[in-house]
Amino acid sequence: MTKRKRRSEPKRSSSNPSLPELFVDRSLGRRKIPDRLREVHPNVIAHDDLFSQDTDDEVWLEEAGRQGWIVLTKDERIRRKPGEQVAIVQFGARCFVLHPTKGMTAEEMAEVFVRALPRILAITREEKRSGFVKVVNGQGRVRVTSRQVVEIALRHPRPSRDLSEQLLRVLTSFNGVHLGHRAGAEVAAV
């Protein structure tokens, strides 16, 4: 599987290095949403500018964290998949998920992100920690609650059993989540 495309520079409008780069996930499309965002923010990268369509989310999330990109997506499963959660936290990716999107056109989604952009930029400037997922609703409001933040204290680079136990503790700490885990029982590796 090809991880990165070999292209010159991503398509951007007049770049401004003092502003953070927005990374638009493939779930939002290649043109309409990135192009609309470029009208209001000079540093926009579409997923397909750098990565092939079949690149695993963990790969581009790692790069987004390393580069300090702000991730925009509509893939709300990114908050729930253990491999993606680990990549978000371990590499410090800052993700904003548009949810719900059912029945929305690309133009409507683009306008929601445009409306939310000042708040998104303020949050990423003010947030002391990196490695989070926050939800942008259909009105362009960013919900900032502990339920949207993925936090796993990684003590080792990839300790599968340790990590599974940490993830289980995080998941069971949310109210209303019951996972039927017995003390001392084996925890499946991630």
| 63 vs 137: CA distance, rounded Å | 26
- Write down the pLDDT at residue 143: 87
Q: Is residue 10 part of a domain?
A: no
Per-residue tokens: 35: 């192009």
Closest CA to 4 of 85, 90, 62, 44: 62
User: Are residue 164 and residue 147 in the same domain, yes or no?
Assistant: no
- Write down the pLDDT at residue 165: 63
- Write down the pLDDT at residue 181: 41
User: Are residue 31 and residue 104 in the same domain, yes or no?
Assistant: yes
List the domain range (segments joined by +) for residue 88: 22-151
User: Are residue 170 and residue 146 in the same domain, yes or no?
Assistant: no
Q: Ranked by mean pLDDT, which of 91-95, 144-148, 163-167, 185-189 comes out on top? A: 91-95
Reduced to 3 states (helix: H, G, I; strand: E, B; else coil), residue 165 is: helix
Tell me the pLDDT tens digit for each residue of 123-181: 999 987 789 999 999 999 998 754 444 444 443 344 455 556 666 565 554 444 444 44
User: Are residue 144 and residue 159 in the same domain, yes or no?
Assistant: no
- Write down the pLDDT at residue 129: 77
| pTM > 0.85 | no
User: Are residue 147 and residue 170 in the same domain, yes or no?
Assistant: no
What is the domain count for the chain? 2
Full DSSP string of 116-156: HHHHHHHHHHH-SS--EEEEE-TTSPEE-SGGG------SS
Interval 177-190 mean pLDDT? 43
Tell me the pLDDT tens digit for each residue of 18-62: 889 999 999 999 999 999 999 999 999 999 999 999 999 999 999
- Write down the pLDDT at residue 130: 80
Neighbours of 180 (CB within 10 A): 6
Whether the pLDDT of residue 111 is over 80: the answer is yes
User: Are residue 91 and residue 131 in the same domain, yes or no?
Assistant: yes
- Write down the pLDDT at residue 176: 43
- Write down the pLDDT at residue 145: 56
Q: Is residue 4 part of a domain?
A: no
More reliable by pLDDT, 183 or 99: 99
